């Protein structure tokens, strides 16, 4: 019987350990770098941008091929119902079969600058989609970082809410004890209970904000929002290294580095090349050709059979469009209009870059001030709460004063955390705005 109970205990222990190990394996522990790697792999916008980049690379390869010769081969075997008469080595022969093959080469010499303009356009399009891909990756990295920081921020806010509730519960217990011995009134007990209830509501809201923030991380990473993840905690920053930002220098960096702005520059280059392509229709096209063919009524048995019946030709051809129903003029007009539109898009993109930098700098300046103010507020609120609690303990103050001081301390700590992460957000956004966001 003892042996049986021992075996049951071992089985239960094994199952418990296995279940615990299995549960721990289902929770992913992710650092910021891990989150970025997962998002870059799963994000659908990046998948789409990569596909367009590959299409542009294929287009570039095709435009390079326009400078290369075209070589083609053709062969044919034919059998007829009736005999066919032909002269073969000065003799009349008949056959129902015939054999033929041909090799032809065409090499463009001049295409009215079309090939050169097409190559330039393809290079611009290739660069454009490469820049678009990298810019898309940067925006995804920004989104991941902000969502990641938001989880850490809400986690700290949750701790503040838990501490506030714990403090108010302890104070409630102390006041209830004092009420039993007649030191405080029943009204003060109810006042503290109201404060406990408010802290409970604040804790519920803080917990919900934390869970929501984690859900948004899952969504950004492209994984199931119900999948449990655990983010690697960063050290809690009580002090922030403040950096000075030069607006003019930041704008200059942005116009040099921003890949979305470069994409608009690439698009302008592409549309200008399109004008040259359309104008090339007014110019002649010149190409070299060479042709070699062989025909006989029987399959060649020797080199003599080939030499006797083969032919070759080569030369230069020119093609000039004289009139095509005003299509060329219409195409040129459309291409010029596209250039004007591309120039307007580029100017608007430049304005957007400057606006993005300005907004980021303003957010940083605001966050700097908030960090300084909230630091002082936390120090003052902690001292105020300490003094209010001490006055109430010795009977020199009221419960309302203590509750007010506790509420101010909680709000000061929340504002401090918010200010620190607002600064982190602003710095990250500025990195993207000036085109230096890396991963």
Burial of 175 (0-12, 13-18, 19+ CB in 10 A): buried
Q: How many CA atoms lie within 13 A of 125 on its CB side?
A: 23
Question: Contact at 8 Å (CB) between 405 and 381?
Answer: yes
pLDDT tens column, 360-413: 999 999 999 999 999 999 999 999 999 998 888 888 888 888 888 988 999 999
Number of H-type helices and E-type strands within the chain: 10, 6
Cα 29 to chain center, whole Å?
23
pLDDT of 75 higher than 70:
yes
Q: Give the DSSP H or E segment for 291.
A: strand 285-296
Phi/psi of residue 142, nearest 5 degrees: -60, -45
CATH of 25-66+112-284+320-433, one of 3.30.450.30, 1.10.10.10, 1.20.5.510, 1.20.1600.10: 1.20.1600.10
d(CA 195, CA 342) in angstroms, rounded, equals: 61
pLDDT of 354 higher than 70:
yes
pLDDT of 297 higher than 90:
no
Joined tokens for residue 71 = 């070589």
d(CA 124, CA 57) in angstroms, rounded, equals: 11
Question: Contact at 8 Å (CB) between 420 and 156?
Answer: no
pTM for the model stands at 0.81
Q: Which residue reads 């200010």 in tokens?
A: 419
pLDDT tens column, 319-343: 999 988 899 999 999 999 999 999 9
Cα-based distances in Å from 33 to 156, 221, 343, 382: 21, 12, 38, 36
pLDDT tens column, 175-197: 898 888 888 888 989 989 999 99
Within the chain, what is the greatest distance between any pair of CA atoms? 140
SS3 428: helix
**Sequence ranges of the domains in the chain:** 25-66+112-284+320-433, 78-110+287-319
pLDDT score recorded for residue 18: 46
pLDDT score recorded for residue 21: 45
Question: Contact at 8 Å (CB) between 324 and 281?
Answer: yes
Question: Contact at 8 Å (CB) between 366 and 390?
Answer: no
pLDDT tens column, 272-293: 999 999 999 999 999 999 999 9
pLDDT of 3 higher than 80:
no
Give the strand order in the sheet containing 91-110: 70-88, 91-110, 285-296, 310-319
DSSP readout, 328-347? Answer: HHHHHHHHHHHHHHHHHHHH
E strand residue ranges, 4-127: 28-30, 70-88, 91-110
Cα-based distances in Å from 57 to 120, 303, 385: 13, 46, 66
pLDDT score recorded for residue 107: 96
Closest CA to 109 of 160, 70, 166: 70
Q: Which residue reads 């294929």 in tokens?
A: 58
pLDDT score recorded for residue 179: 85
DSSP readout, 159-182? Answer: HHHHHHHHHHHHHHHHHHHHHHTT
Phi/psi of residue 402, nearest 5 degrees: -65, -45
Q: Which residues pair with 91 in a beta bridge?
A: 88
């Amino acid at each position: 019987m003892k042996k049986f109970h021992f075996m049951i205990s071992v089985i239960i222990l094994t199952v418990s350990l296995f279940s615990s190990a299995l549960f721990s394996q289902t929770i992913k522990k992710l650092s910021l770098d891990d989150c970025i790697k997962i998002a870059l792999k799963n994000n659908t916008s990046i998948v789409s941008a990569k596909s367009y980049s590959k299409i542009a690379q294929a287009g570039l390869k095709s435009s390079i091929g326009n400078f290369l010769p075209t070589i083609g081969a053709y062969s044919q075997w034919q059998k007829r119902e009736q005999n066919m008469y032909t002269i073969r080595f000065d003799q009349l022969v008949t056959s129902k079969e015939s054999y033929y093959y041909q090799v032809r080469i065409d090499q463009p010499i001049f295409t009215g600058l079309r090939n050169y303009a097409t190559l330039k356009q393809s290079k611009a399009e290739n660069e454009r989609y490469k820049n678009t891909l990298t810019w898309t990756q940067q925006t995804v990295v920004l989104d991941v970082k902000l969502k990641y920081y938001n989880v850490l921020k809400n986690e700290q806010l949750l701790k503040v809410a838990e501490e506030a509730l714990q403090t108010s519960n302890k104070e409630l217990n102390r006041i209830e004890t004092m009420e039993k011995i007649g030191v405080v009134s029943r009204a003060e007990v109810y006042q503290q209970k109201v404060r406990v209830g408010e802290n409970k509501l604040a804790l519920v809201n803080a917990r919900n904000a934390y869970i929501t923030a984690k859900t948004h991380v899952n969504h950004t990473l492209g994984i199931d929002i119900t999948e449990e993840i655990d983010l690697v905690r960063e050290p809690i920053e009580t002090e922030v290294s403040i950096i000075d930002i030069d607006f003019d220098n930041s704008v200059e960096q942005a116009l040099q580095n921003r890949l979305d702005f470069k994409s608009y520059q690439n698009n302008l280059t592409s549309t200008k090349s399109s004008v040259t392509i359309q104008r090339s229709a007014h110019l002649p096209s010149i190409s070299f050709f060479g042709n070699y063919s062989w025909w006989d009524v029987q399959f060649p048995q020797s080199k003599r059979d080939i030499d006797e019946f083969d032919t070759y030709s080569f030369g230069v051809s020119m093609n000039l469009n004289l009139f095509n129903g005003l299509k060329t003029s219409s195409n040129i007009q459309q291409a010029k209009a596209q250039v004007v539109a591309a120039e307007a898009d580029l100017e608007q993109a430049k304005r957007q870059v400057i606006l993005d930098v300005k907004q980021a700098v303003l957010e940083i300046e605001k966050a700097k001030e908030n960090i300084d103010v909230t630091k002082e507020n936390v120090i003052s609120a902690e001292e105020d709460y300490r003094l209010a609690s001490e006055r109430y303990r010795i009977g020199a103050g009221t419960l309302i004063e203590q509750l007010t001081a506790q509420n101010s301390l909680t709000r000061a700590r929340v504002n401090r955390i918010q200010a620190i992460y607002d600064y982190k957000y602003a710095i990250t956004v500025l990195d993207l705005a000036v085109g230096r966001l890396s991963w």
